[in-house]
Structure 1
Amino acid sequence: MQDYQLIEKLAHQNRERIPERAVHAKGWGAQGKFTVTHDITKYTCAKVFRPGTTTEVLARWSTVAGEMGAADTERDVRGFSLKFYTPDGNWDLVGNNTPIFFVRDAYKFPDFIRTQKRHPKTNMRSPEAMFDFWAAQPESVHQVTILMSDRGIPVNPMHMNGYGSHTFSFWNEAGERFWVKFHFKTQQGHKYYTNKEAEEVIGRTREATQEDLYNAIDTGNFPKWTMFVQIMPEADADKQDFNPFDLTKVWPHGAFPLIEVGELEMNRNPDNYFQMVENAAYSPSNVVPGIGYSPDKMLQARVFSYADAHRYRLGTHYEMLPANAPKAANVNHYHKDGPMRFFTNDFGNPDAYYEPNQYGGPVADPSVKEPPLRIDGDADRYHQDHVDADYVQPRALYTEVMDQAERDRLHSNMAAAMAPCSDAVKERWYAVLGRVHPDYEAGVRAAAKSPKEENALPVDSDTPVEAAE
């Protein structure tokens, strides 16, 4: 016991692991930059969008359901998160590789995630739980259609798009507010695996995405994305035939065209993955003047839940870890004490530890105050009362965007995913597909009875979801 060096080493090893993320545990990260190439200052006063500005970025991509040891190439939605170290502090855009999500009400989110994790008795994944939940939430059919389509297994982050998914808001120097959607279009083209191809990859390596991403950057093949926004004037939200704050819906490009903003380039592998990627804490609560929120229910809940998850997983002062600390000198706070207080914020005067004070401590800057958000008290303003609302967009995706070969692969992928489910759950899900389109239901039923060999997927820059947004 007097070999204190041995005791220290063993004791440290016992404490090397931290809790993995409850969602998006398996991930891959890189560092890079965002450069503004087009002027959108008439919509936002955020300094990160001033023409010609270059901002340092930390990115993390991930699967949703798998644990840290899960295989990279599973059929799943991919997280697409970006931390911009702006002159006014950190702006986090925490999104996915799809422009929508499974549910629109955060109250349903914990239950949804439980269906993606392990069954409490069998400790195995449960397709029965997944399709049972989706069948009871028809709004999910839009996202499930994308998940089971060609885009369900991206080869790596370089060959997929990223989206803020939620509706956010901008405001300009005049205090005018605009609703906004964020899009990051890959410049590398889209590449996806079939189920069969993914199985072969997993048989070779469970780290295919990490290998692809690290090696691409290490050899100088820096991945790039073009950033676009969709803009909706504040008052126009009331004029739409869909709820513009519903996370299960896209904004039609014909009505709200993509506006180019700039280029994202990821060009550096972190020197220490744990320090910069595992410790990275992204949260929609991290905004800067000129960027704000919306009545999106899911976004409102994430503003709380993400930061709270980081306090649990990383500790009270997670925001001061190297990956998360702002690089802007004018970002100050009066957080005090707690575990792992490894920084000082006495602002040159130890008496300035509360606010307001007479000792020259930092004070709030009223010039960056967000303009008032128009609220009229009508809780049902954006309630979708027509029974077909949740089927319109997936129907357009299925009938107008996908060709027959793509629909056939969709049928096959979905039938395979449903195979372990009970007949009762299958019939409930078939009923949902039938509401989208009779051919959708019939195609999955037929594929379930006579599975076919999968065809190779095309490498295409205009695949279904791209056109359907």
Structure 2
Amino acid sequence: MSDKILTTTAGAPVPDNQNSWTAGERGPLLIQDYQLIEKLAHQNRERIPERVVHAKGWGAHGTLKITGDISKYTKAKVFQPGTETPMLARFSTVAGEMGAADAERDVRGFALKFYTEEGNWDLVGNNTPVFFVRDAYKFPDFIHTQKRHPKTNMRSPTAMWDFWSLSPESLHQVTILMSDRGLPQTPMNMNGYGSHTFSFWNDAGERYWVKFHFKTMQGHKHYTNEEADQIIGKTRESYQEALFGGIEKGEFPRWKVQVQIMPEMDAEKTSYNPFDLTKVWPHSDYPPIDVGVMELNRNADNYFAEIENAAFSPSNIVPGIGFSPDKMLQARIFSYADAHRHRLGTHYESIPVNRPKNEVHHYHRDGQMNVYGGIKTGNPDAYYEPNSMNGPVEQPSAKEPPLRIHGDADRYSHRIGNDDYSQVTALFNLFDDGQKARLFANIAAAMSGIPQEIAERQLAHFDKVDPAYGAGVRMARQTMDGREPAISVTPQTPQQAAE
């Protein structure tokens, strides 16, 4: 144990650096949690000028066509039957810098901006349905492990596995990352997910919880580590080449759009926390509903202006779509927009690619990037609100239903009483022998050189998922080290492991 006391930047002792301050065990967050706000705001300013995360990206324009009918769940015009909405997509790696190779094993960002008639709706997700952490308090710490070591200026597998082994909630995402799906061949050959739990609300004021899924219609294709090494040896821009080149040739990629719907009060009945970003909703309980098709069909005319300047934020919602008590989502509502204010300027949404297609009226004044020379109210005398100068006024019909909360405000431990293993077991059981063998080998390679103490701590988590999981990784590590396994075995099936 260290004898150093963790403090705020002002020198005050930090009583809890693991759990956000929430209203009730499930949240939402309290803005009085100044330690969380400081942590997130500081992270957004750690690197300039590229994005702190998701720096390397590829994007294109397209359309969202709604073919299904979910109007009973949401009043959002973007989801009404027959609607066609212009949109922009940006895919990215998480950890790499601007010059990183595209074909690296990493989570892929899946950011979408829909230019609806009611304003911009942004869905900022990943190619995985879960994430490494469930409390935003740990997000800056996690990202530090993915970036360069402050002394060596190199990536640190030790830091990565040290954090993961001390954070069992990461198991679900780690297993996906190290599986075949952790290295898609192109942006077109991967799914996208909103990942978080969001909410729909309808004209009757009823709220439903919702998960968004974008299923590739090109099929899943993945590289092994060895294949990716060969690709990177030839080009660092393989994703950009595939996406840009395909669209130029008229090969427009498509994704089937689906939603999972949960009645509001079901959240009190599930055995898992449905607002936990490390969990999925079983399809057997909440089957995906087909909504429409997303198609990318136009490349940017200028990459910097239309893709690099694109600013996506979960805070951009429209009437009929809302948030949930998801602690990670609640923090991202603040941190994404704040990152754009830092990176692009205060009025970043005035940049053409971020500008809504409908009319915009607001009372924000002056500041960096104000290209209008004033506020957008239609009347220079209406620079405050309320006013008698015919300035823009609020629209009560856009108010969403109350968000149910309960419980006392406290820093609740998100690890106490939380099952971080059973959903990973279910995922592991879906893999065939070949997929498991590659999973074991990928993990063994990623663990190369880390301290044995950290490796054993992580292996103990794999054992809890399934004894065959831990045994398979141990055998792969021994083989990679040039040692014969202590006991020569083949990876067991879940049934064999149970026996």
Query: Same fold, TM exceeding 0.5?
Result: yes
Structure 1 equivalent of residue 368 of structure 2: 339
Structure 2 equivalent of residue 194 of structure 1: 224
2:294 matches 1:264: yes
Structure 2 equivalent of residue 9 of structure 1: none
Q: Tell me the alpha carbon deviations over residues 51-94 of structure 1, each in whole angstroms, 9 at most, x when there is no partner.
A: 10110101100000000000000000000000000111000000
Maintained 8 Å contact 1:412/1:452: no
Q: How far has the Cα of 1:356 moved from its partner? A: 1.1
CA 397–379 in structure 1, closer or farther in 2 if over 3 Å, else same: farther
RMSD over equivalenced CA pairs, Å: 1.8
Q: 2:201 aligns with which of 139, 157, 171?
A: 171
Structure 2 equivalent of residue 428 of structure 1: 457
2:420 matches 1:366: no
2:131 matches 1:101: yes
Letter in 1 for 2:393: V
Q: Tell me the alpha carbon deviations over residues 141-163 of structure 1, each in whole angstroms, 9 at most, x when there is no partner.
A: 11000000001111111000000
Q: Tell me the alpha carbon deviations over residues 401-457 of structure 1, each in whole angstroms, 9 at most, x when there is no partner.
A: 11111111100110011012111111111111111111111100000111499xxxx
Structure 1 equivalent of residue 119 of structure 2: 89
Q: Tell me the alpha carbon deviations over residues 374-396 of structure 1, each in whole angstroms, 9 at most, x when there is no partner.
A: 12225699977775710000011
How many residues align structurally?
435
Q: How far has the Cα of 1:309 moved from its partner? A: 0.3
> 1: CA distance between counterparts of 2:48 and 2:154?
23
Unaligned runs of 5+ in 2: 1-46, 483-499
Maintained 8 Å contact 2:362/2:376: no
Q: Tell me the alpha carbon deviations over residues 256-292 of structure 1, each in whole angstroms, 9 at most, x when there is no partner.
A: 0000111100000010010011000000000000000
Letter in 2 for 1:247: L
Q: Tell me the alpha carbon deviations over residues 135-184 of structure 1, each in whole angstroms, 9 at most, x when there is no partner.
A: 00001011000000001111111000000000000000100000000000
Letter in 2 for 1:337: D
Maintained 8 Å contact 1:99/1:164: yes
Structure 1 equivalent of residue 443 of structure 2: 414
Structure 2 equivalent of residue 204 of structure 1: 234
Moved more, 379-388 or 413-422: 379-388
Moved more, 336-345 or 186-195: 336-345
Provide TM-score, normalisation by structure 1.
0.90
Structure 2 equivalent of residue 449 of structure 1: 478
> 2: CA distance between counterparts of 1:67 and 1:28?
13
Structure 2 equivalent of residue 113 of structure 1: 143
Percent same amino acid among aligned pairs?
A: 67
> 1: CA distance between counterparts of 2:145 and 2:94?
12
> 1: CA distance between counterparts of 2:167 and 2:48?
34
SS in 2 for 1:450: helix
Q: Tell me the alpha carbon deviations over residues 102-154 of structure 1, each in whole angstroms, 9 at most, x when there is no partner.
A: 00000000000000000000000000000000000001011000000001111
Provide TM-score, normalisation by structure 2.
0.85
Moved more, 74-83 or 373-382: 373-382
Q: 1:39 aligns with which of 65, 69, 74?
A: 69
Letter in 1 for 2:109: G
Alignment of 1:184-263 (within 5 A): 184-263=214-293
Structure 2 equivalent of residue 301 of structure 1: 331
Maintained 8 Å contact 2:198/2:324: yes
Unaligned runs of 5+ in 1: 1-16, 454-469
SS in 1 for 2:353: coil
Structure 2 equivalent of residue 328 of structure 1: 358
Q: Tell me the alpha carbon deviations over residues 191-218 of structure 1, each in whole angstroms, 9 at most, x when there is no partner.
A: 1100000000000000000000000000
CA 318–200 in structure 1, closer or farther in 2 if over 3 Å, else same: same
